[in-house]
C-alpha cells in the first residue's frame, strides 16, 4: 500500500511540474500490465511499471503516459 501511495505522489509531482513545459517537446509513452520495463514504451511495446515510466532519466516534462486496458497490481510480489 505504501508503494502505491508513493508512486501516486511521484506521478502527481511529475505531472504538476510538467504542466509548465511546451507540448511541442513532448513524447507519448504507454504502460501496460503485460508490458516490460525493457521495452521502449510504445503502444506496441509498452512499459510495465509506473516507477520506471516516471524516472527522470526517461520521462521529461511535457511527456504523456497512457495506460492500456488491464488490471494493474501494486508492483510487489511475495514468495
CA 12 to chain centre: 11
pLDDT at residue 41 in the model: 94
Angle subtended at Cα 5 by Cα 18 and Cα 10, rounded to the nearest 5 degrees: 20
Please report, for the chain, the start and end positions of each structural domain, with discontinuous segments joined by +.
Answer: 2-67
Question: What pTM did the predictor assign?
Answer: 0.63
Query: Which pLDDT band, with edges at 50, 70 and 90, does 20 fall under?
Result: low
What pLDDT does 55 receive? 87
pLDDT in tens, 27-77: 899 999 999 999 999 999 999 998 898 888 887 777 889 999 988 876 655
- pLDDT for position 75: 60
Q: What are phi and psi of 47, to 5 degrees?
A: -80, 170
Amino acid at each position: 500500500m505504501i508503494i502505491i501511495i508513493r508512486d501516486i505522489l511521484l506521478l502527481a509531482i511529475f505531472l504538476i511540474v510538467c504542466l509548465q513545459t511546451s507540448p511541442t517537446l513532448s513524447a507519448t509513452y504507454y504502460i501496460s500490465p503485460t508490458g516490460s520495463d525493457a521495452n521502449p514504451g510504445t503502444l506496441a511495446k509498452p512499459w510495465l511499471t509506473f516507477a520506471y515510466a516516471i524516472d527522470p532519466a526517461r520521462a521529461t516534462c511535457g511527456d504523456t503516459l497512457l495506460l492500456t486496458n488491464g488490471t494493474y497490481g501494486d508492483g510487489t510480489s511475495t514468495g
